Structure 1
Amino acid sequence: MSKKQRSTKQKQSQSLYYTVKEPTKLLPFLLEVMSNRSRNSVKSILSRGQVTIDDQIETQFDYLLHPGQTVAILKNKAAVKRSALIGMEILHEDDDIIVINKEAGLLSIATEKEKHQTAHHQLMEHVRHEGPQNRVFVVHRLDKDTSGVMMFAKNETAKRTLQNAWREKVAERTYVALVEGEVKKEKGYISSWLRESKTHLMYSSTTPNDGLHAITHYEKLQGNKDYSLLKVELETGRKNQIRVHMLDLGFPVVGDKKYGSKTNKVRRLGLHAMVLAFEHPSTGEKLRFETEIPQIFLGVSK
C-alpha cells in the first residue's frame, strides 16, 4: 500500500460517512444520523468545521442537502488528535515553511466576520504547541472556495525571501478549473491587463499597460457538451486571474457567480490549486507538491 493510500485510508477511518437520500436541511440531517447526541453537541460539531459535504466544509445549519451528496463528519477524537486542523492537511513542514492542502470552504486568513476558523489561525495554534513564541506568516492566498496547495512561512526571513522573489522562486503553479460549456480548443493562452473596479470586481483591459499584465495558459483534460475540465498554468499571479480569464474566454468557472457562472452542479467553486513547485527559501532545494483532482470535477466533466 502506498503512502498516499495509507493516508487516505487513515483519513476515512477518522470520519463517519452518510449518503443523502432526500432533500433536507443540514442540521435536521445531522440530528437524525447522530441521534445519540444532543442538539447543542451537534451544532458545536457543525460550527467547528467537522462537517464536509462532497469534501467541502460546511458550517451553515440551514444548508440545503440534495440526494446523492456525501456528508462526512470528523470524529471528535480525530479532531482533537489533529490539533483542530479542520479543513486542511499538512503536506510538508520544516523550520521555515508549512505546505498544506486546503479544502474548499476554509478561509486562508481572517475576515471581519471570521477570525478563528481559518488556515492561518489554525496553523498559528499548531506551531505554538511547540513554543509560545512561534508564528506563521502569510506568503500567498487561496480564495475561500478554492481548494488545493498553499504555503505559509514560519519566520519573517522566509516570508520576505519568498514574497520578494516570488516569480523567481516559484517554478510551477498549476490549477484545474471546471468551467461551463464545451471548450473546443485543446490548448491555448490568454493575455490581458487586469484592473479592479470600485466594487472590487476584476476585469480585463486589452489596452497595453492599462493595469497589471496577466498571462494564463490552459489545456483541456476532458469534457462534454456542458462542462470542460482544464489544466491551467499561471505565468503571472494576479488577483482572480483565472476566474477573469475564463470569463474572457466565454467559459466561466463553475459556481463563480461573480464572474459569469450560471450553474453550480458541484455546489462549490470549480477551482483547485493542484501543483505548487518552488525553491526552498533557505536551502535552495527544489520542492514540488501535487494533490489529486477533486473527484466531483472528474465526474461532472466526463
Structure 2
Amino acid sequence: MRIDKLLAEALPDFSRARLQALIAEGAVTLMDAPYKEDESQDVQDATARPVRSASAKIQPETALDITLPPLKAAEPVPQAIPLDVLYEDNHVIVINKPAGMVVHPAAGNEDGTLVNALLHHCAGSLSGIGGVARPGIVHRLDKDTSGVMIAAKTDQAHKALADQFASHGADGALERAYLALVWGSPKRQKTIIDAPLGRAPHDRKKMAVVSEAAGRRAVTHVEVRERFEPDGKPVAALVECRLETGRTHQIRVHLTREGTPVIGDPVYGRSHMTMANALPDPARSLAKSFSRQALHAYLLGFTHPETGEKLVFEAPLPEDMTALLASLEAL
C-alpha cells in the first residue's frame, strides 16, 4: 500500500495533503524491523530512515514513526478588514470575497488579505491544516475574481471540506458556479470543455491547454445566459460556468480556448479588446475600462462537515459587473 494512503486511513483527522507535506518535511520515518546478523548475536535495535516519497509502498508489519512539528502561531497578523459574511457557525464561515482581495499572504501581498481579515474576525478559531500562511483556507479565488468562498474553523471541518473539493463534486456534494461576461458568443447554447491544463511552455506564470501527459484533466460546463449582438454581430455574452474540476485559471483559459475570453482579463483576453469598438457608448467605454476579469463565483454548494446538511449560498453580481451587464442589455 502507498504510504500516504495508509497514513490517511490510520489518521482520519489529517488530510492527504497535510500528510504528504509531513513526508516532504522529513517528519515520517520508516522503522526497519529488529534483526540478527547471526544466531550468536543479540537482537539489534530497529533502524530508522526518513520516508522520501509519499507514493512509496510499505511492506506488511513495518512501523512508521510520525513526528508532528510544534504548533506555530500564524505569521499573518489579524486585521480589521470588513467581510461580507453569508453564513457562519462554529465549524465554517462563508464569505463573499470582493474583487481585488488576495486570499492569502504571498510575495508582494503580505497583508490586507482574506487570511488577515479572517484571523481578526474569527479571533483565532481557524483550522491550522492550511499551514502558517493559509489557516482555514480550503480553496481559493484569483485576486480579481469575486464571489463565494468557504473557510474552515476546525481541522475536522477542513479535512471534510478538502475531501469534497478533491472529489470535484463527483458525489454531488460540491457545487460551484460562476458568471462571466465574455467577448464574442459561444457557438452552442451548452458546451462541455474537456481540455487538460498545465503551465504555459513559454510563460510559467500563465496556464495553457496542454497534452494529457503534460497537464491535469480540466472540465468546465458552459451555458449561455444572454447573447449581445448589436446589428447581428456576436460581440459579447453572459455565460454560466460550472466546474467539474478546479484548476488554476481554469475558466479563464477554457473560455479563451473557445474564442470567448473573459472581458477585462489582463492575461488571457488582451487580443480581443478591439471587439469593444463594435459597441456603442456607454457599453464601449465600460468594457474598455473594465479593470479586471469579469468573472464572479456566484454559487457554492457543499455538505456541512458537521451536520451533513446540503447548503447552497449565492452572491449577487458586484457593482462593476452589474453596470457592464446593464449597458449590454440596453443595446
- Aligned match of 1:84: 80
Matched position secondary structure for 1:257: coil
Listed as ranges, the matches of 1:134-213 within 5 Å are 136-166=135-165, 167-168=168-169, 170-197=173-200, 199-205=204-210, 207-213=211-217
Out of 277, 281, 297, the residue aligned to residue 305 of structure 2 is: 281
Matched position secondary structure for 1:246: helix
- Aligned match of 2:293: 269
- Aligned match of 1:214: 218
| Aligned mates of 1:272, 1:228 — CA distance in 2 | 14
Query: Kindly, what percent of the aligned residue pairs are identical?
Result: 39
Normalising by structure 2, we get a TM-score of 0.61
User: Could you tell me how far 1:208 is from its partner in structure 2?
Assistant: 3.9
Q: Which runs of 5+ in 2 are unaligned?
A: 1-78, 128-134, 230-234, 274-286
| Aligned mates of 1:164, 1:201 — CA distance in 2 | 27
Normalising by structure 1, we get a TM-score of 0.66
Q: Is the 8 A contact 1:97 1:154 kept in 2?
A: yes
- Aligned match of 1:116: 111
1:250-273 deviations in Å (ceiling 9; x for gaps): 011111121133435332211000
| Aligned mates of 1:234, 1:133 — CA distance in 2 | 30
Q: Which runs of 5+ in 1 are unaligned?
A: 1-82
Matched position secondary structure for 1:200: strand
| Aligned mates of 2:161, 2:194 — CA distance in 1 | 25
| Aligned mates of 1:134, 1:173 — CA distance in 2 | 23
* Segment of structure 1 superposing worse, 182-191 or 105-114: 182-191
User: Could you tell me how far 1:171 is from its partner in structure 2?
Assistant: 2.7
| Aligned mates of 1:178, 1:170 — CA distance in 2 | 27
| Aligned mates of 1:253, 1:107 — CA distance in 2 | 20
Q: Report how many aligned residue pairs link the two structures.
A: 215
* Residue type at the aligned position of 2:186: V
User: Could you tell me how far 1:216 is from its partner in structure 2?
Assistant: 0.6
| Aligned mates of 1:181, 1:134 — CA distance in 2 | 43
Of structures 1 and 2, the larger Rg is shown by: 2
User: Could you tell me how far 1:119 is from its partner in structure 2?
Assistant: 1.1
- Aligned match of 2:325: 298
* Residue type at the aligned position of 1:281: P
Listed as ranges, the matches of 1:11-50 within 5 Å are none
User: Could you tell me how far 1:195 is from its partner in structure 2?
Assistant: 1.1
* Residue type at the aligned position of 1:200: K
Q: Is the 8 A contact 1:243 1:259 kept in 2?
A: yes
| Aligned mates of 2:84, 2:126 — CA distance in 1 | 20
- Aligned match of 2:36: none
**CA separation of 1:297 and 1:212: change in aligned 2, threshold 3 A:** farther
**CA separation of 1:286 and 1:184: change in aligned 2, threshold 3 A:** same
**CA separation of 1:289 and 1:133: change in aligned 2, threshold 3 A:** closer
* Residue type at the aligned position of 1:142: L
Q: Is the 8 A contact 2:173 2:310 kept in 1?
A: no
| Aligned mates of 1:267, 1:208 — CA distance in 2 | 33
Q: Is the 8 A contact 1:115 1:121 kept in 2?
A: no
User: Could you tell me how far 1:140 is from its partner in structure 2?
Assistant: 0.2
| Aligned mates of 1:237, 1:244 — CA distance in 2 | 12
Moved >6 Å (runs of 4+): none
